[in-house]
Structure formats: structure tokens, C-alpha cells
């Protein structure tokens, strides 16, 4: 007689660094979205907020954005168009190129980021409550090293 179980062995295991970071990122996005909505919200889609987060870290081409998010170039282009309509980014030709454009933050984009800064801080406060403030800073330090060297 066989026994049924919900436990299925998964290969690779779910506790890979990439998988765990994805899980944490998704949850942080959910919390941030809820906080932005509670503040009066914005009519900017959550997917466009993710695009904006990538652009604020460094200017990106359409191809960079589609690869970073695992979405099609068309979806990345639609997100760029919506952010342009909101006046939050600039999208200009790369120096020396007549084909490739790069998206970068403008003053309105930085102002929106400042407006919702408390949502980022609230998420980090929740994480500090779970693991401790010292451990949060250790995590930040480790992620900084990994991001710089990987």
C-alpha cells in the first residue's frame, strides 16, 4: 500500500539563494504596493514601479529592462511608454547611437521615489523586526558585496 504525501522532492531545492531572494523580493513588492495604496496610491502599475526601481539604480536600455525582469521587449516598451506618459523618466538615444535608447530617471521620477520612500523604509523595518537591526545591516552589507562583485 502506498501513502500519498504533499511533500514532493524538488530539484533543485527551493532554498537556493536565487529562489529565496525572489521570494523575499515578491513579498517586499507586495508590502510596498499595499503601503503606497494606503497613502493615497498612485495610478502607476506595480509592474511599472518595478521598472522604475531598476531605472533608479542605473539608466537602462529596453533590452536591459526586459532581461532584468524576464519579460518581453514589447512588455518592457509598454512599461517605458506608461512611465513616459507619467513624466517620470527620460528615454533618449545612447550617445553615438541612432537605434538604442536608454531610460533614465528625471526630477519627477526622483520626486515620486522620495514621496514613497517611507514604504521602502517600512519594509526594512519589518525585516529588522523579524531578524534584528544588526542582522539587517549584515544582510545589507553582504548583498552590497555580492552586487558589486558578481
Write the CATH number of the domain with boundaries 43-112.
1.10.10.10
What's the CA gap between 146 and 143, in Å, rounded? 5
What's the CA gap between 120 and 53, in Å, rounded? 11
Q: Higher pLDDT residue, 121 or 8?
A: 121
Q: Where are the domains of the chain?
A: 17-42+116-150, 43-112
User: Model pTM?
Assistant: 0.76
What's the CA gap between 109 and 55, in Å, rounded? 10
Q: Higher pLDDT residue, 10 or 67?
A: 67
- Percentage of residues of the chain with pLDDT beyond 70: 90
pLDDT in the model for residue 95:
87
What's the CA gap between 103 and 101, in Å, rounded? 7
Classify residue 3 as exposed, middle or buried by CB count within 10 Å of its CB (0-12, 13-18, 19+).
exposed
pLDDT band with cut points at 50, 70 and 90 for residue 117: confident
Tell me the per-residue pLDDT of 14-66, one tens digit each, with 9 for 90 and over. 788 988 998 998 898 888 888 878 877 678 888 898 999 999 999 999 999 99
- DSSP annotation of 129 reads H
Angle between helices 62-69 and 46-57 (to 10 degrees): 120
pLDDT in the model for residue 12:
65
In 3D space, the residue among 47, 44, 32 whose CA is nearest the CA of residue 84 turns out to be: 44
Q: Higher pLDDT residue, 10 or 136?
A: 136
H helix runs in the chain, sequence order: 17-38, 46-57, 62-69, 73-85, 107-115, 117-131, 133-149
Amino acid at each position: 500500500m502506498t501513502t500519498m504525501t504533499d511533500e514532493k522532492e524538488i530539484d533543485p531545492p527551493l532554498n537556493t539563494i536565487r529562489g529565496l531572494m525572489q521570494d523575499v523580493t515578491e513579498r517586499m513588492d507586495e508590502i510596498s504596493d499595499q503601503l503606497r495604496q494606503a497613502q493615497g496610491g498612485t495610478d502607476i502599475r506595480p509592474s511599472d514601479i518595478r521598472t522604475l526601481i531598476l531605472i533608479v539604480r542605473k539608466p537602462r536600455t529596453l533590452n536591459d529592462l526586459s532581461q532584468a525582469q524576464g519579460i518581453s521587449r514589447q512588455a518592457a516598451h509598454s512599461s517605458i511608454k506608461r512611465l513616459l506618459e507619467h513624466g517620470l523618466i527620460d528615454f533618449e538615444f545612447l550617445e553615438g547611437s541612432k537605434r538604442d535608447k536608454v531610460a533614465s530617471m528625471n526630477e519627477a521620477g526622483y520626486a515620486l521615489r522620495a514621496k514613497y520612500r517611507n514604504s521602502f523604509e517600512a519594509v526594512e523595518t519589518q525585516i529588522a523586526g523579524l531578524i534584528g537591526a544588526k542582522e539587517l545591516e549584515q544582510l545589507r552589507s553582504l548583498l552590497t558585496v555580492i552586487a558589486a562583485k558578481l
